[in-house]
């Protein structure tokens, strides 16, 4: 064990750290872009911002496609983050499994609801 550093280090784990780290940053960048696009449209709005204005922002086809992509990115982003938190802090495997399943059900449910709302506009 005293030699366990540098090139002799024993690498363990599932080896998906870098992929997850990168996917969380890429999805975060997409969410930032989306937030800026929505903000610009709101700032450019003259007059009161009611339901009609919100609906018109999301009703064009390109905005629906972008919002749909952002919903998927958000689900993946939050799943990677929450799974890391459960893996880091919840040691009993059965409790961790329950929390992970709850997270998946919650995120998929929210995404489904969001997509349903989006395509009703
Ligand atoms: C524009 C929006 C967002 C940006 C720019 C963003 C950015 C980030 C970044 C860079 C990380 C990695 C932090 C680290 O590894 O130290 C992260 C982690 C995380 N994000 Fe987001 N995020 C956004 C929205 C969200 C939303 C809406 C949710 C939940 C629905 C969320 C849930 C999480 C979770 C659970 C983590 C893991 C936290 C941790 O490891 O302690 N993020 N986010």
User: pLDDT, tens digit, for every residue of 87-99?
Assistant: 999 999 999 999 9
Rounded to the nearest angstrom, the distance between the alpha carbon of 12 and the centre of ligand 1 is 25
**Does residue 30's CB lie within 6 angstroms of at least one atom of ligand 1?**
no
| pLDDT, tens digit (0-9, with 9 covering 90-100), for 33-85 | 999 999 999 999 998 999 999 999 999 999 999 999 999 999 999 999 999 99
Report yes or no: 48 and 39 within 8 Å, Cβ to Cβ: no
Give, to the nearest 10 degrees, the angle between helix 51-59 and helix 17-43: 130
Asked whether residue 15 carries a pLDDT value surpassing 90, the answer given is no
Domains, the chain, ranges and CATH?
Answer: 16-120 (1.20.1300.10)
Assign residue 62 a region (left: φ > 0; alpha: ψ between -120 and 50; beta: otherwise).
alpha
Q: Whose CA is nearest to atom 15 of ligand 1?
A: 21
- Whether residue 32 has its Cβ less than 6 Å from ligand 1: yes
pLDDT digits (tens, 9 = 90+) for 75-85: 999 999 999 99
Asked whether 31 lines ligand 1 (CB < 6 A), one says yes
* C-alpha span between 115 and 32 (Å, rounded): 19
Q: What is the ipTM of this complex?
A: 0.90
Please tell me the predicted confidence (pLDDT) of residue 2: 60
Query: Residues 6 or more apart from 57 whose CB is under 8 A from it?
Result: 38, 41, 42, 63
């Amino acid at each position: 064990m005293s030699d366990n550093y540098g090139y002799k280090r024993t690498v363990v784990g599932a080896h998906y750290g870098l992929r997850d780290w990168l996917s969380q940053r890429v999805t975060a960048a997409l969410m930032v872009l989306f937030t800026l696009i929505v903000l610009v449209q709101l700032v450019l709005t003259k007059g009161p911002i009611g339901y009609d204005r919100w609906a018109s922002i999301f009703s064009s086809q390109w905005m629906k496609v972008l919002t749909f992509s952002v919903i998927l990115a958000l689900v993946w982003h939050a799943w990677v983050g929450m799974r890391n938190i459960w893996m880091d802090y919840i040691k009993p495997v059965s409790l961790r499994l329950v929390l992970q399943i709850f997270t998946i059900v919650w995120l998929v449910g929210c995404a489904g609801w969001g997509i349903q709302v989006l395509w009703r506009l």
